[in-house]
Structure 1
Amino acid sequence: MTTIDLFNHNVPAESDFGYSQAIKSDDLVHVSGQLSLDEAGDFLHADDFAAQLKQTYANFDKVLNHYGATRNQIISQTLYVVNLRRNARATSEGNLTYFGDHRPVSTVLGVTELTFPGQVIEISFIIDTKLTA
C-alpha cells in the first residue's frame, strides 16, 4: 500500500484554489509551481525577474527540506517564463547558480501571463527521494 505525504506552505492560495504544494507517492515528489510568495502567501517583487527567481528557489528549498531531499535529487523541472526572450539569460544564469553541476531535465515555456500581476516566473519540479548523487 502506498502512503501519500502532502506538503503545504500554509498560504491562503492553497485552500482558495484547492491544491497542495507537493505530494509524495513512493519515491517521487511532484511539486506544484513555486513562485515568489512570502511566508504569509503574499506575492513579492512584481516585475523583478531576478528577485522573483531568487524567492522561487528559496521556496524550492522549503519543499526539499520537508522531504529531506537535496537539489541533486530534483530530476525534472518545468519553468513558465513571461517575456522568455528578454528573460532567457537570467533564467539560464539562475538555473546554473541554483543547480551547480547537477543537470535535471528541463522544459522552459514562454507564457503571456501568470497568476499575479507582475509575476514573471513559476517553476514546478519532480524529486526522486531515492536518487543518490
Structure 2
Amino acid sequence: MTVPTKEFSFGMPWEELYGYSQAMRVGETVYVSGQLSHDQKGAFVGADDFGLQVTTTLANLDLVLEHFGASRRQIVETTVLVRNLRENFDTTARLHAAYFGEHRPTSTVMGVSDLALPDQLVEIGAVVRLDVEA
C-alpha cells in the first residue's frame, strides 16, 4: 500500500539551500518543520524581541495549517526550541497556551545554545492529524 504525500514550501531561499520543505503531508499526518520568525519576503522579524518572535513564528505555523486546510485543534504535538530557556520559559508557556486556548497538544520544550539564524531565539515544529475533529 502506498501512502500519498504532498510537500509545502514558502519559497524561501533557505529551503533550497538546506534542501527541505516547510511541511510534508503523509496520508492524514502533516509534519511541520521548525517554523521561525520571518515575513513572507524572507526578512527576519523581531531581533531581540522574544515575544514578537514567538507570535510571528506561530503566525507562520498558521500559514502552513491553512495550506493543508487544517486548524490548530488538529495539532497533536509541538516541539519548541528556545535559546535562553530559563529567561524565556514563562513567555514561551504563556504564548503557547494562548495560541491553543482549550486545546492541549503534546509538547516538548527544549533549551538550545543556538539556532539557524544569528538573531533567532525560538523555533516551533508540529505534527498535525487531518483526521482529528477540527
TM-score class, shorter-chain normalisation, is: over 0.9
Q: What fraction of aligned residue pairs are identical, expressed as a percent?
A: 44
Please give the alpha-carbon distance, in whole angstroms, between the structure 1 residues aligned to 2:40 and 2:119. Answer: 19
Q: Which amino acid aligns with 2:77?
A: S
Runs of 4+ in 1 over 6 A off after TM superposition: none
Residues 46 and 117 of structure 1 are in contact (CA less than 8 Å); yes or no, is this contact kept in structure 2? no
TM-score by length of 1: 0.97
Mark the runs of 5 or more structure 1 residues left unpaired by the alignment.
none
How far apart are residue 75 of structure 1 and its match?
0.2
1:14 Cα deviation from its structure 2 partner: 0.5
Q: Distance in 2 between matches of 1:94 and 1:33?
A: 17
Query: Tell me, which stretches of 5 or more residues in structure 2 are unaligned?
Result: none
The amino acid across from 2:99 in the alignment is Y
How far is the alpha carbon of 1:118 from its aligned partner? 1.6
1:32 is aligned to 2:40: no
Q: Matches of 2:97 and 2:34 in 1, distance apart?
A: 19
Cross-structure match for 2:3: 2
Task: State the alpha-carbon separation in 2 of the partners of residues 116 and 89 from structure 1.
Answer: 23
Instruction: Read off the aligned partner of 1:106 and give its amino acid letter.
Output: S
Partner of 1:51: 52
User: What amino acid does structure 2 have at the position aligned with 1:15?
Assistant: E
1:76-125 per-residue CA deviation (whole Å, 9 max, x = no partner) reads 01000000010010001101110000000000000011111121000100
Q: Output the TM-score relative to the length of structure 2.
A: 0.96
Bigger drift between 34-43 and 15-24 goes to: 34-43
The DSSP-based 3-state class of the residue aligned with 1:75 is strand
Q: CA RMSD in A?
A: 0.8
Amino acid at match of 2:81: Y
| 2: CA distance, partners of 1:118 / 1:8 | 22
Structure 1 residue 45: Cα displacement: 1.1
Conserved 8 A contact 1:81-1:111: yes
The 5 Å alignment of 1:19-98 reads 19-98=20-99
